[in-house]
Amino acid sequence: MNIGLLGFGTVGTGVYEIIYKRKRIFRTLVGDELSISKILIKDINKDRSIKECKNKLTDNPYFILDDPDIDIVIEAIGGIKEAYEYIKYALIKGKHVITANKAVVARHMKELIDLANKNKRAFLYEASVAGGVPIVKPLKQQVTLNDIKEINSILNGTSNFILSKMIKENLDFSQALDIAQKLGYAEADPTDDIDGYDVRRKLAILSTIAFKREIKEEDIYCRGIRTIKAVDIKAIKELGYTVKLLAKALFNENNYYLSVEPNILSKDSFYAKVEDANNLVSIIGNDIGELKFYGAGAGKLPTANAVVSDVLDIIYNNYGSCGINQEEDKLCNNTDLVKDIYYIRISPKYGLNEKVLNLIKEEKIVDKIIKTGENIIFTSKDIDYVKISRFISNIKNFINDEFYAVIR
């Protein structure tokens, strides 16, 4: 069984290490060699720590994609355009494909699954959601047996690490982000993580599987943690609560509601206990009830482990197909499914002008004033998605992100 590896960065080298150190075990299990025969890299002359792979390196992807002796292609280059083209080409050439690329899976999931099914090949992506936490395969299995009613999850280690630091050490957002970047939890450009886009992609993948219909990223209401400041953390802690970035999916009689946004939680909540870069996914089915999946949401070896688990499923012919849009009836994105209370903070020194005050009065959303003075903090009445979205959109017309916070 020959593998072509596209990319030799963090995930790629992790996959190589796991397969190499467990070579004898794989031979015993499958009765044959499991070999990474070719590896795509950008710089052929770069000195690499894994010396034994030197004669396997190429900077031409088609040396792998057109090789008839390669059975499985693992895409680990990242990005969207090239990765998508290579995955599609490999499936057309009759190869099994594995990827950890959530951006490609979220955007092209149905097309690539249909193409894999047409060519009787596997398209697997366990590592694209929750890193080392096995959730994609168990969810596929449960969808066969259950109607999935709800998904609740913490799916971004960077945001969770930042919020954990802010809560534990009373840090401001910028301080916690700086620590996350120095430790390698956050990229130099952390936008995808702190604005919720990374989580939105992962929720789109899980929801597409769970509801058997194609869910697009743009179908998901999304807000990140950028506007949460030390003053908010202090107020939330004084109220006896904590805060997490949660991804939620609800399904009820062909209506669904999907959201990624910061949520205030009881300290006793299971989600409140998820610290640092760990992930948690909870699914609720009509027969199975609630199942929780917890573990390392990122990292070289946890993510690579998920990729190699997909390799084993291909070897054992244990992957099947994942049907999307099997039902004739269409889903409706119904924002009326959810109403909730929101914590809202406005910083008057900079942002509380007459227009903002008039906006708060016009919307008639105030339920309880918690603090006044340097910051005005209040809780809203029970309001729906449309009303809170309109309020946030209008607030942005008058004040910058650093002078307000809205937390579910």
13 is in an annotated binding site: yes
Catalytic site includes residue 56:
no
Please report, as a single letter, which amino acid is at residue 382.
D
Q: Can you give the C-alpha Rg of the chain in angstroms?
A: 23
* Segments in 184-289 forming alpha helices (H): 191-194, 197-211, 230-238
Please report, as a single letter, which amino acid is at residue 295.
G
Judge whether 210 and 238 are in contact, CB under 8 Å.
no
Burial category of 390 from C-beta neighbours within 10 Å (exposed 0-12, middle 13-18, buried 19 and up): middle
150 is in an annotated binding site: no
**CA separation for the pair 177, 161 (Å, rounded):** 9
Complete DSSP assignment for 166-177: HHHH---HHHHH
10 is in an annotated binding site: yes
The one catalytic residue in 56, 137, 165, 202 is 202
29 is in an annotated binding site: no
Which of 332-371 are b and which e, b meaning 16 or more Cβ less than 10 Å from the residue's Cβ? eeebebeeeebbbbbbeeebbeeebeebbeebebeeeeee
227 is in an annotated binding site: no
Neighbour count for residue 120 (Cβ, 10 Å) = 9
7 is in an annotated binding site: yes
Burial category of 84 from C-beta neighbours within 10 Å (exposed 0-12, middle 13-18, buried 19 and up): buried
**CA separation for the pair 263, 246 (Å, rounded):** 6
102 is in an annotated binding site: yes
191 is in an annotated binding site: no
| Two structure tokens written together for 296 | 């390392």
239 is in an annotated binding site: no
274 is in an annotated binding site: no
**CA separation for the pair 233, 168 (Å, rounded):** 10
Residues counted in the chain: 408
Sequence ranges of the binding site for NADP(+)? 6-13
Sequence ranges of the binding site for NADPH? 102
Sequence ranges of the binding site? 6-13, 102, 187
Sequence ranges of the binding site for L-homoserine? 187
Report the catalytic residues.
202
